Amino acid sequence: MTTDEEFEAFVANNRDLIERMIETQKSAAREFVDAERDAARQAYGHARGFADESRARAEDLARTAYSAFTDPEVQRHFVNMGLEFFMGMSALMERAPMPAPVRDGFRSTEATMKDAACRAHECRREAPKRVEIVSDDRRDADGVFKGVGER
């Protein structure tokens, strides 16, 4: 085992060598840290560029999709489609077998819908026309739902 005196003598005799070894390790550590910082900055730059490009593409896609749905021509078609669908359902309800009070309820809903649509769109376009469908074999649907004592 070495004593403190022997260790002190070794350090005194090799002081220059020990200091150069410590300085070499410090220098290598600094170079390593600097290289890692540069690599991290470069990776951050690439990631930031990719994120900026992705955000720009996403914003462009959202802007394009939003403008497609908010285009006045598309909106006009959607409104017309909704009104046509409502008119089709109204015609279906006219032909479906149901009691007269239910049919009257559908008719009043249809009138309210037409009024609301006209107010919302200032009736710039002629509303869809109601077409009367006449069939020779039309049955009286009101009789189907009458109770036993009502016949």
Nearest Cα to Cα of residue 120 among 87, 78, 151: 78
> What confidence tens digit (pLDDT) does each residue in 63-92 have?
998 888 888 888 888 988 988 898 888 788
User: By mean pLDDT, which of 36-40, 127-131, 134-138 is the weakest?
Assistant: 134-138
Please give the residue that has the higher pLDDT: either 130 or 124.
130
For the entire predicted model, the pTM comes to 0.37
Cα angle 119-122-126, degrees, rounded to a multiple of 5: 110
> What confidence tens digit (pLDDT) does each residue in 111-128 have?
787 777 777 766 655 666
